[in-house]
Amino acid sequence: MCAWFSISKAPKANAEDTDKLEIPGGLWTKCKSCSEIVYTKELERNFKVCPKCGYHFRLNAAERINLLCDAAQFEEFDIQLRSNDPLTFKDSSKYKDRIKKAEKSGSYEALRSGIGKINGEKVGLGVFDFTYIGGSMGVVVGEKLCRIIERSTTLGIPVIIISSSGGARMQEGIYSLMQMAKVTAALVRHAERGLPYISLLTDPTTGGVAASFAMKGDLNIAEPGALIGFAGPRVIEQTIRSKLPEGFQRSEFLLNHGVVDMIIHRSELKQKLSELLGLMMKH
């Protein structure tokens, strides 16, 4: 008997079918880097890293917390804080409508914050969620970051901020830009207590987030292939009217130019962070 429902190999991709192969039941996923078709469950077991080429797919905040924190060892704070519309902003649609649409996806803000444990080491965590309005930083994101930093300072524990953001949220104008200085000031007070701050830069980390606290870590760590910078490469090329170097603004390029301290593969991230925190808290 032919087991017509059994699938043992990924379907072959071609120019006409490539987009269609990503859709049916979420069974297969096309890698954005090598274009290989990967079994979705295999991809998830591999921390959403392509087993063929090592491309790191984006994680949402919940996935990131599950990856790093010990089982059931994350206490979230300030869940009740919600964005409003201080400028009554409207472009192609109302800002209030954008917020409602973003919340329907299951996220309630572009950042989750709390106290977690990484291999038993207690740490304050601020984790961006790119699925919520591009991980943009508004008043609520800035306030949540400041609160978790200040709470960590009081408890005498390190802070890790995991960035995945398009930058300051334009719908909140100057209010969003103020968060750059506000969060940086909280980190300065944290450092004055001799407590470490690790910044993890993931794809993408851009705009006002990259221009402020994301680059202020005692250690700035990046995931492989992450886009990191203020303006995007296309904007820069159009501005300077010149072709940029290969790999410009990617983690590997920035490591070679001293902008980030190290690149850590996602499969090694929890263990490496645990080791680094242990060393930093001894000094």
List, for residues 17-43, the tens digit of each pLDDT value. Answer: 444 444 456 899 999 999 999 999 999
Q: What is the CATH number of domain 58-281?
A: 3.90.226.10
As a whole number of angstroms, the distance between CA 60 and CA 80 comes to 19
Residues forming CATH 3.90.226.10 domain(s) in the chain = 58-281
What's the chain's Rg over C-alpha atoms?
20
Is residue 131 within 8 Å of residue 112, measured between CB atoms?
no
Name 136's Cβ contacts closer than 8 Å, sequence gap at least 6.
110, 165, 166, 167, 168, 169, 170, 176
List, for residues 51-77, the tens digit of each pLDDT value. Answer: 999 999 999 999 999 999 999 999 999
H-type helices in the chain, by residue range? Answer: 40-45, 61-68, 95-104, 139-155, 173-192, 207-210, 233-240, 251-256, 269-281
What is the structure's pLDDT at 11? 53
pTM recorded for the entire structure:
0.90
List, for residues 201-224, the tens digit of each pLDDT value. Answer: 999 999 999 999 999 999 999 999
CA max distance for the chain: 72
Is residue 233 within 8 Å of residue 248, measured between CB atoms?
yes
- Mean pLDDT across the stretch 185-212? 98
Is residue 280 within 8 Å of residue 261, measured between CB atoms?
no
